[in-house]
């Protein structure tokens, strides 16, 4: 009897444990739950954004109701690399990714049921949105991060008294050889993709949090041609900058030469004034020195004449002068070798 009672007690305990295990279930902080009865949802979602925080221990009808668990955390979608055509008919390969979450688990369960179906729908919806937005814009809008092209502001060489010309903050396509104007930029295009795809995914109880363009590659068949075009455009821009630099250099050199000529002219004038004053003072000193007596005046005349001989006469010099010329009055011989205008030498003592 005792053995039979023990067996019955054990069976009862096992049955109670089985019933309790089918009745109790736990809900984690990172998940949300839908209870179904014979495949149909019963009640609302548990621990979802649509209800209060209900994580913890819960009860259900055993063997009849079933627990369906879904992620409450942020999930990722990494789309395949897809060829797309831009507004100017440039073929590029775009690789996009997105972040999403299950916002309405009941609607998600009724329409998709699992994550694989959700990713398949996101491939179609987000991929089509990316393709549509890229097709409406030029390639430069997809490549550039934002619409503002920032240029390093370098201070130009400014001479004293000149006004500083403002440095442009953006480069536009107003002049040949410059970069194309950016109206939107890739960040704005990503916002457009998010706005276009979000209403579509909400039908399945999903919420699209963010969409980004991870990688953009050129079509391999036109990569070489595009690279050559990019090099040509950058060379044109560089040549334009060089031309502007040469123009500024010519202006600076012109102003420099003008100021140099002005400085040299003023210095030459100052030198000539100083030399004139020095010559005047020297002449005055000579006049005062040689006008002290007739003998000093004659000596001055004699020395100046010798200086004239030295400056004007050379080995191959030929002069034709009259006999009464004053130029050679100190070397002309008259009356037995006596130079005109000079005294006879004294007689020698016996």
Q: Burial level of 67, CB count in 10 A (0-12/13-18/19+)? A: middle
**197: CB partners within 8 A, 6+ apart:** 98, 125, 126, 128, 129, 208, 211
What does the alpha-carbon distance between residue 255 and residue 338 come to, in Å, rounded to a whole number? 68
Tell me: pLDDT of 8 over 80: no
- Tokens in use for 350? 């016996």
pLDDT at residue 147 in the model: 56
β-bridge partners, 13: none
Residue ranges and CATH numbers for the domains of the chain are: 2-71 (no CATH), 75-151+174-221 (3.30.479.30), 291-339 (no CATH)
Per residue in 12-30, pLDDT tens?
766 666 666 678 888 888 8
pLDDT at residue 9 in the model: 72
pLDDT at residue 123 in the model: 94
What does the alpha-carbon distance between residue 57 and residue 144 come to, in Å, rounded to a whole number? 51
Rg over CA atoms, the chain: 54
Per residue in 290-321, pLDDT tens?
777 888 777 877 887 788 877 777 777 777 77
Overall residue count recorded for the chain in this entry: 350
Per residue in 187-205, pLDDT tens?
999 999 999 999 999 999 9
Could you tell me if 86 and 92 are in contact, meaning their C-beta atoms sit under 8 angstroms apart?
yes
pTM of structure: 0.54
Given the DSSP bridges, would you call strands 65-71 and 75-78 parallel, antiparallel or unpaired?
unpaired
What does the alpha-carbon distance between residue 205 and residue 101 come to, in Å, rounded to a whole number? 9
- Tokens in use for 31? 């998940």
What is Dmax (Cα atoms) for the chain? 195
In 3D, which of 136, 245, 126 has the Cα closest to residue 193? 126
High-pLDDT (> 90) share of the chain, %: 36
Helix, strand, coil fractions of the chain, as percent rounded to 5: 45, 20, 35
β-bridge partners, 101: 207
């Amino acid at each position: 009897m005792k053995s039979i009672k023990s067996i019955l007690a054990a069976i009862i305990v096992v049955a109670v444990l089985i019933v309790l295990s089918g009745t109790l279930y736990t809900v984690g902080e990172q998940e949300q739950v839908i209870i179904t009865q014979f495949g149909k949802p019963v009640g609302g979602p548990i621990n979802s954004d649509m209800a209060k925080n209900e994580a913890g221990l819960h009860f259900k009808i055993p063997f009849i109701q079933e627990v369906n668990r879904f992620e409450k955390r942020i999930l990722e979608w990494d789309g395949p690399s897809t060829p797309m055509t831009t507004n100017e008919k440039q073929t590029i390969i775009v690789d996009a990714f997105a972040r999403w979450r299950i916002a309405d688990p009941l609607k998600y369960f009724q329409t998709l049921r699992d994550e694989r179906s959700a990713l398949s729908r996101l491939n179609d919806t987000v991929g089509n949105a990316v393709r549509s937005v890229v097709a409406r814009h030029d390639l430069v809008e997809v490549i550039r991060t934002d619409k503002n092209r920032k240029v390093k502001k370098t201070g130009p060489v400014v001479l004293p008294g000149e006004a500083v010309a403002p440095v442009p903050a953006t480069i536009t396509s107003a002049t040949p050889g410059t970069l194309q104007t950016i109206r939107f930029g890739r960040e704005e295009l990503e916002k457009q993709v998010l706005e276009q795809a979000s209403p579509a995914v909400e039908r399945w109880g999903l919420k699209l949090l963010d969409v980004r363009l991870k990688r953009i590659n050129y079509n391999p068949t036109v990569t070489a041609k595009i690279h050559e075009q990019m090099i040509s455009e950058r060379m044109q821009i560089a040549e334009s900058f060089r031309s502007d630099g040469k123009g500024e250099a010519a202006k600076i050199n012109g102003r420099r030469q003008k100021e140099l000529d002005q400085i040299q002219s003023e210095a030459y004038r100052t030198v000539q004034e100083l030399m004139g004053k020095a010559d005047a003072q020297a002449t005055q000193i000579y006049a005062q020195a040689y006008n002290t007596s007739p003998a000093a005046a004659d000596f001055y005349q004699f020395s100046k004449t010798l200086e004239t001989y030295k400056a004007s006469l050379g080995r191959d010099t030929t002069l034709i002068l009259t006999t009464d010329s004053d130029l050679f009055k100190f070397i002309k011989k008259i009356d037995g070798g006596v130079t005109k205008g000079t005294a006879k030498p004294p007689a020698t003592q016996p």
